[in-house]
Structure 1
Amino acid sequence: MPTKPTKPTKPTKPTKRTKPTKPTKPTKPTKPAHRNEERSGIRLSLIIIILVFSAVIVSFALSLTIGYTTQKKSLTENTLELNRITANELSRTTQTIVQSMQDTLKSASDYISSGQWKQEDLQHQIDFLRVSVPYFNSVVLVNEAGVVTATSPEALALKGTTLSSDQAKQALQLKQPLISEPYTAASTGRLIILASSPIYDAQGNYAGFIGGSVYLQEPNVFQKILGQQGENENGSYYYVVDSNGNLIYHPDPKRVGENVSDNAIVKLLLSGRSGQMSVVNSQHVKFLAGAAYIPAVGWGIVSQTPAVVVTKSVDAVIGKVALISAPFMVILLLIVIFISQRLSSPLNRLAHLASNLTSGTAKTVQLPDIRHWNYETSELYSAVNEAFRLLDRRAEEYSHQAHTDPLTGLTNRRLMDEIVARWAAEGVPFSIVMMDLDRFKTVNDTYGHQMGDEVLRFLAGRMLEEKGKNDYCCRYGGEEFVFLLPYRSDDEAYEIAERLRGRIESEISPTGRPMTLSLGISSYPARALTIEDLFGQADVALYQAKQGGRNRTIRYDEAAAAEAGNEADH
């Protein structure tokens, strides 16, 4: 397209130029000697088009790059957070399973110890136990010498044999409830977890144990409760590891029993911690993983999504943005080309007149109106500036989206972290109020997630009404929100928190009834010397508010005192 504007250079179709030795030849007065030099120059309109085109393309590319980077980082953080939440939910489910297994065996051992299970009915009773609860693939009764007195199913043919596994010996030695690490049974070759509970006779003497076995490579309780994982469209899945990093549950049954302790997220679990991170698995595939530790047994659950899913999603979004924006860019460029032609025409006429004047062919010269020429030039600047403003606004919108929670309009976690870090670096004292809607899950379960979103926006609106001029209202994640209060003591923060809590308690929420709010407060550097400690203290106070009955505000000192009191009671 850039060659089209040069066509006006040939309106008169001149013949061959006269020789420079005959400049006065009267028969050809309209052929100035400098015409070729004039043609060798670049027209102003072409320069303007090239500059504007380059500026638009660079700005457009920069805008897309910023959008791509921002979107990818945001989606990565969201994916990590969702996987951490998923792992937490699954860990609670798994912990419930384990506790239920222990409770079931404890009830059975108590029943046996009471003498209500007659010897002749033992087989019938343990058969009933195995069938009536969905936890165990097999159940055994073992006396104090390690001899099996009854099994279910009887097809195991273990009755009368002495158990020789280290796990069975450990259960006999410890004489207390126990869930073993996975081991391979010598008689069957199965990969097994043994859960056991001790049995005592009427005189209180140790009489053996009742044990339930879970066959990890066969249909088992974890598959029933956690669900059979099919092929997920985006490749996400979750798995369970024991305290040594061995796979207990995995969507690929062939991998059960495999040791994956070299995995970075598994190492985190083996240290007794939960968290989220980007990892590369044993197949050299990068995943975004969230992990949750199960305190009852020292196991861990990992929920992970391939990192390429995020990349593809961002590529798709940015591709759509580029596709939608491209026609506007083309239209804008066409407009700029047209305007550049209009803007350069006065200068072209001036150049033509100057050429005629210097060649001596023009007897009189009528110059273009200077005011008109200036006006056209200013119009060109206006068009270019408008193009830049359009692209700058788009970049600003991307930046705004990167720092604003899309649901509530509050400051998001990323900007909150930046503000807190800046305040800490500048030595600004401040307080934070961490808050959490009480029983918010009930709102989602009862009214649906759309109503849950309305409740979150309701809380966000009340926060904005209570904040001061220099305060920040932030969405921390889920139903958790944070007030950032610069130059405020924890007493002032407490007053603000109580006002907000009172409003939420007394006003009708979108559900048609009031909600309640639990809040925790800490201050920097008055209470915490680091940002990590600050948020940790506020979280402790919030947790204490929850544990203390919800719908209350607790400062960190109060939370620490309450915790110390609890420890003293124990």
Structure 2
Amino acid sequence: MSTPRRAEHRQSKKLSLISLLTGLVTLVVLLTSSILLVGSYESQKKSLTETTLHLNYSNADRISKTMDSLFRSMRGSLEYSADKLSDVDAMTSNQVDDYLDLMRNSSNFFNSITVVEANGLIRNVAPARVGMAGRRITSKASLEALALQKPYISSPYMTSNTKRLIVFMSQPIFSSSDKYLGILSGTLYLQENNILSDIFGNSNVDDSGSYYYIVDSNGRLLYHPDKQLLGEDVSSNKVVQKLMKGESGEQQVRNTSGVEMLAGYSSVPTNGWGIVVVSPISLIHHQLMGHIRTILWYSLFPFIILLIGVMLVAYRLARPFVHLANLVSKMGKEKIVMPEAKPHWSQEADLLTKAVLLAVLNIQKQTDQLTQVAVTDVLTGLMNRRSLENTMSQWMASGLPFSLIMLDVDKFKFVNDTYGHLIGDEVLKHVAEVIVTSLRPDDVCYRYGGEEFVILLNRPEEAFNVAERVRRALEQSRAPIPTRVTVSLGIAHYPLHASEREELIEKADQALYLAKSRGRNRTIVSEG
């Protein structure tokens, strides 16, 4: 081989400046981006997982407190009525029937109510169509309650004749001379319409895939979005096992179908049942992949420009890296404050480092935007529940007295069922707009979840007037549906009614529940 050819061969093995600079820049950007992406992924994964777990536990705890309060009310109703029936022997059968019908229709607590004599004979039953009057009790639960002579609540069980899944509650009846006369019992048909199914029977899957279910003290499903699973034994689930021990908390768990879930769970002291709110972990993965795709998309353009700049620099040896830095600095990022970088022994390398830092700032900007989205409700544009909790914590930490107004759109399920969920969303946006226009600039409104909204005011003395102004404004507004849109409101004051965040929310929620029970479209202040 001739000398010129050998020299040409050696020259072809050497890297060109374009290839060298392009490879180095690509390597630096890929390594830096990989580190940032991994760090961002892990950070966001931990944050989203913890937030979802805390939110699910908070929801489970709120539902369990609602159920506990409901069962206490049922127990109070039976206790009051048993006292009224202390002279049942002196009452005619029609009088007792009328009283039982009144009791059943006024509260909607029970599907059927029965008066059983001490010898086990069913004296009266409402409704009369049950047809058990004059027979003797035979179920294990009723016999146990009759023998116990104390307040009693059974575990859910299947009746032998009607094959209904029921819960049996009873209260002993004593005469004025403390003679044991029998029991007053109420029966709940878990798979039929009653107050339990009205409140807890609609554990539908939301848009994110989250839902809740209810188990009894033996680990059997009582309420679940999949109706075919009702009555199934899920005691092998680790969360259900903890609920059976009366524990509450949050954890990642694999359900009986093998799906990884983020679960928050809370037990109900009154009846030993448990509430579980779950979100599929795939939801977290979906959000994280969206986050990564966003970062990669916004990083792609600067990366392409960077490579083009490197190739141009290779052709203009007089300004190899200065041109690259100028190109990167003209990417419309003048408002970003560049982090201070340690000086490098090479001016060219120093300029390249600054250019890469600009790409880092771009990624940080996208992360900040995602954080802002995380505290904003997409539908209404209001701040969301996470922002509410942060604000309440800050106000409580500063010792600032304030009021919390919780409002709920009346009969919103009827709106969704009648006009569809799209119109339901329009109603929610309408409600949010009316609330905001009815408030002062320093009052803050949040979407708490579903059709519930929360208003924070740092002027407790004006809370009732503000709530009434919002209520009247909505009542008189022109809604997206032909019927009137009204709301019920509950008010709680800090620190008058509660010193803790969850307790304050619970007080306002109880006042709201009272407003609902008194006919809706009204404002109730917590009684402390």
1:403–1:254 Cα change, 3 Å:
closer
Aligned with 1:93 (options 49, 58, 66):
66
Match of residue 49 from structure 1: 22
Q: Which amino acid letter does the alignment assign opposite residue 282 of structure 1?
A: T
Distance 1:99 1:452 in 2: 39
Q: Which amino acid letter does the alignment assign opposite residue 236 of structure 1?
A: S
Question: How far is the alpha carbon of 1:250 from its aligned partner?
Answer: 2.0
The alignment partner of 2:162 has SS state of coil
Aligned with 2:53 (options 73, 80, 98):
80
Match of residue 327 from structure 1: 301
1:309-388 mapped onto 2 (5 Å cutoff): 309-343=283-317, 380-388=348-356
Match of residue 93 from structure 2: 119
Match of residue 137 from structure 2: 163
Question: How far is the alpha carbon of 1:321 from its aligned partner?
Answer: 2.1
Q: Which amino acid letter does the alignment assign opposite residue 30 of structure 2?
A: I
Contact persistence 1:49–1:340 (CA under 8 A): no
The alignment partner of 1:34 has SS state of helix
Question: How far is the alpha carbon of 1:98 from its aligned partner?
Answer: 0.6
Distance 1:290 1:318 in 2: 27
Bigger Cα displacement from structure 2, 299-308 vs 322-331: 322-331
1:345–1:324 Cα change, 3 Å:
closer
Match of residue 373 from structure 1: none
Match of residue 198 from structure 1: 172
Distance 1:280 1:229 in 2: 20
1:33–1:191 Cα change, 3 Å:
closer
Contact persistence 2:54–2:264 (CA under 8 A): yes
Distance 1:117 1:437 in 2: 59
Bigger Cα displacement from structure 2, 250-259 vs 72-81: 250-259
Question: How far is the alpha carbon of 1:404 from its aligned partner?
Answer: 12
The alignment partner of 1:314 has SS state of helix
1:220 aligns with 2:182: no
Distance 1:197 1:145 in 2: 16
Contact persistence 1:240–1:300 (CA under 8 A): yes
1:453–1:304 Cα change, 3 Å:
farther
Question: How far is the alpha carbon of 1:166 from its aligned partner?
Answer: 1.9
Distance 2:403 2:32 in 1: 45
Match of residue 302 from structure 1: 276
Question: How far is the alpha carbon of 1:394 from its aligned partner?
Answer: 5.8
Question: How far is the alpha carbon of 1:196 from its aligned partner?
Answer: 0.9
CA-to-aligned-CA distance 1:77-105 (integer Å, 9 cap, x gap):
11111111111111121112111111111
Question: How far is the alpha carbon of 1:390 from its aligned partner?
Answer: 2.7
The alignment partner of 1:113 has SS state of coil
Bigger Cα displacement from structure 2, 438-447 vs 158-167: 438-447
The alignment partner of 2:316 has SS state of helix
Match of residue 105 from structure 1: 78
Contact persistence 1:111–1:117 (CA under 8 A): no
The alignment partner of 1:101 has SS state of helix
CA-to-aligned-CA distance 1:224-270 (integer Å, 9 cap, x gap):
12252334222211112222222222223332222222211112222
Contact persistence 1:237–1:303 (CA under 8 A): yes
Contact persistence 2:404–2:493 (CA under 8 A): no
Aligned with 2:40 (options 50, 67, 71):
67
Question: How far is the alpha carbon of 1:107 from its aligned partner?
Answer: 1.7
Distance 1:66 1:33 in 2: 49
1:380-459 mapped onto 2 (5 Å cutoff): 380-393=348-361, 435=397, 442-443=404-405, 445=407
Q: Which amino acid letter does the alignment assign opposite residue 273 of structure 1?
A: E
Match of residue 486 from structure 1: none
1:246 aligns with 2:220: yes
Match of residue 184 from structure 2: 210
Runs of 5+ consecutive residues of structure 2 not aligned to the other structure = 321-344, 377-385, 387-395, 409-430, 446-453, 467-491, 508-528
Question: How far is the alpha carbon of 1:106 from its aligned partner?
Answer: 1.4
The alignment partner of 1:244 has SS state of coil
Distance 2:54 2:39 in 1: 22
Match of residue 188 from structure 1: 162
Contact persistence 1:279–1:288 (CA under 8 A): yes
Question: How far is the alpha carbon of 1:436 from its aligned partner?
Answer: 8.9
Q: Which amino acid letter does the alignment assign opposite residue 387 of structure 1?
A: A
The alignment partner of 1:304 has SS state of strand
1:455–1:266 Cα change, 3 Å:
farther
Question: How far is the alpha carbon of 1:344 from its aligned partner?
Answer: 7.7
Bigger Cα displacement from structure 2, 232-241 vs 284-293: 232-241
Aligned with 2:151 (options 161, 165, 177):
177
Question: How far is the alpha carbon of 1:124 from its aligned partner?
Answer: 2.4
Q: Which amino acid letter does the alignment assign opposite residue 256 of structure 1?
A: L
Aligned with 1:136 (options 110, 122, 141):
110
Contact persistence 2:299–2:363 (CA under 8 A): no
Runs of 5+ consecutive residues of structure 1 not aligned to the other structure = 1-16, 21-30, 347-376, 413-433, 458-478, 480-503, 520-538, 550-570
Contact persistence 1:246–1:261 (CA under 8 A): yes
Contact persistence 2:298–2:362 (CA under 8 A): no
CA-atom RMSD in angstroms: 4.6
Contact persistence 1:340–1:380 (CA under 8 A): no
CA-to-aligned-CA distance 1:28-61 (integer Å, 9 cap, x gap):
xxx7973443333212332121111111122222
Question: How far is the alpha carbon of 1:277 from its aligned partner?
Answer: 0.7
1:218–1:407 Cα change, 3 Å:
closer
1:34 aligns with 2:2: no
Match of residue 231 from structure 2: 257
Bigger Cα displacement from structure 2, 276-285 vs 129-138: 129-138
TM-score normalised by L of structure 1: 0.61
Match of residue 236 from structure 1: 210
Contact persistence 1:280–1:286 (CA under 8 A): yes
Contact persistence 1:505–1:516 (CA under 8 A): no
Distance 2:191 2:147 in 1: 28
Question: How far is the alpha carbon of 1:325 from its aligned partner?
Answer: 2.1
Match of residue 372 from structure 1: none
Contact persistence 1:45–1:344 (CA under 8 A): no
Contact persistence 1:217–1:253 (CA under 8 A): no
Question: How far is the alpha carbon of 1:401 from its aligned partner?
Answer: 10
Match of residue 565 from structure 1: none
CA-to-aligned-CA distance 1:507-548 (integer Å, 9 cap, x gap):
x99x99xx98669xxxxxxxxxxxxxxxxxxx9x979x99xx
Contact persistence 2:210–2:277 (CA under 8 A): yes
Q: Which amino acid letter does the alignment assign opposite residue 321 of structure 1?
A: I
Q: Which amino acid letter does the alignment assign opposite residue 190 of structure 1?
A: R
1:84–1:401 Cα change, 3 Å:
farther
The alignment partner of 1:210 has SS state of strand
